[in-house]
Amino acid sequence: MNFNLNQELQLLLQAALLQGEAAINSWQKWRTLVNIDDVDQDSYRLLPLLYRNLSAHNVTDSYIGRLKGIYRRTWVENQVWFQQIRSILGSFQEADIKIMLLKDPALNLHYYQDYGLRYINHLDFLINSKDVLNAIKLLQELSWTPKEKIPNPTVPFSHYIGFENESKQYLSLRWHLFADGFNENAETEFWQRAILTQVNDFPVYLLSATDLLFYTCVFGGLTNLISPISRLTDAAIIIQSYPSEIDQDRLLTLAEKYRFILQLKSRIIKLQEILNLPLSSSILPELKKLSISKFEDHEYQVITSQKNTSLNRLKMRYFQYSRIVNTDNFNLFNFFSYLQYIWGLENLWQVPIQAIIRGINR
């Protein structure tokens, strides 16, 4: 698996995260290759980190003023997001709903530890499945509108619902991280290892450093649209912030359990190539020892195939289904039930007809 990061992105990542001469040299090389007024979105989101690192190294440059402006803008915009988070936490606390921050807000709060360093794109919360319907009602009272039909949290394949408010901010409410057969206790180990912290005196949980590193590296699978550079940056920040808290054995166990060996390995390798992060020297050899399952290998072959055939698209749906129920045992009835759910069909018999229609339309 290859991220194909171009030279500019690699230099920017090094300039933003390395120390000493390595950071300054990378900055100087990047500076000659890129016009800061014309960077792509992936690069733009690294500029606040770049500003902090250059300032820490006392770098003087005509770009510093613009980088500081981008940092300040990010800080202000993230304050707006945290106003929303505080109102939700307050409402959920009154209802005795335990909540865990995921992804953007969690990284911003505990790992970047500076509201100006990482742009929050949307909110992501994890709650217990027993609290789902109550949480949805509370969010609606706070003017968050469901983007799809309100799910029954006990129905197979139901694991999250998206919301949007009047400001077009987006929120994902989840009750499963990786589904794991939708056992209501599937997330117990993540809750038990979670960090308990506060946002304005409101208690909130965060994934442990090891669990968040794994989740950051593999969330969404191979088809996820989040840019590789954003994933790598977040993973690097987690490792740099709490290197002694990264549990190598647990990383390997999670990769094997959830069949994300290829994905975790590729990201760890890339991080070591670019940044030489403070990870255990044995983690890569141990990762390489893990056997890639036939499922994971076949999934990779289909995803990276250039053939956008109806069969390959149906296979992709099967891989999604298989990951959700966390099994290699194929069950046609259950797979059809999954397609019925995601396609919003009233009856199971409509599934093969819909599959044919979708194949023809493509």
pLDDT tens-digit map of 329-361: 777 888 888 888 778 788 888 888 888 777 666
Render pLDDT for 119-145 as a digit per residue (tens, 0 to 9).
999 999 999 988 999 999 999 999 999
What is the CA 175 to chain-centroid distance, rounded? Answer: 15
Compute the distance between CA of residue 272 and CA of residue 278 in angstroms, rounded to an integer: 9
pLDDT of residue 180: 57
Return the C-alpha torsion angle 21, 22, 28, 30, nearest 10: -170
* Statement: residue 111 has pLDDT above 90: yes
Contact predicate 190/182, CB 8 Å:
no
CB neighbour list of residue 48: distance below 8 Å, 6 or more residues apart: 67, 70, 71, 74, 116, 117, 118, 119
Q: What span, in angstroms and rounded, lies between the C-alpha atoms of 293 and 139? A: 40
- Identify the pLDDT of residue 351: 85
What tokens does 185 get?
A: 């206790």
DSSP state at residue 235:
H
Q: How far is residue 77's CA from residue 98's CA, in Å, rounded to a whole number?
A: 26
Tell how far CA 13 is from the center of its chain.
18
Tell me the whole-structure pTM to 2 decimals: 0.88
Q: How far apart are CA 314 and CA 63, in angstroms?
A: 49
Neighbour tally for 348: CB within 10 Å: 12
The pLDDT, as a whole number, for residue 225 is 45
Report how far residue 196's alpha carbon sits from residue 332's, in angstroms, rounded to the nearest whole number.
Answer: 42
The per-type count for the chain, helices as H runs and strands as E runs, is: 17, 7
Q: Tokens for 167?
A: 């400001």
pLDDT of residue 237: 94
Is the pLDDT reported for residue 1 higher than 70?
no
| Rg value, the chain, Cα | 22
Cβ–Cβ under 8 Å, residues 147 and 161: yes
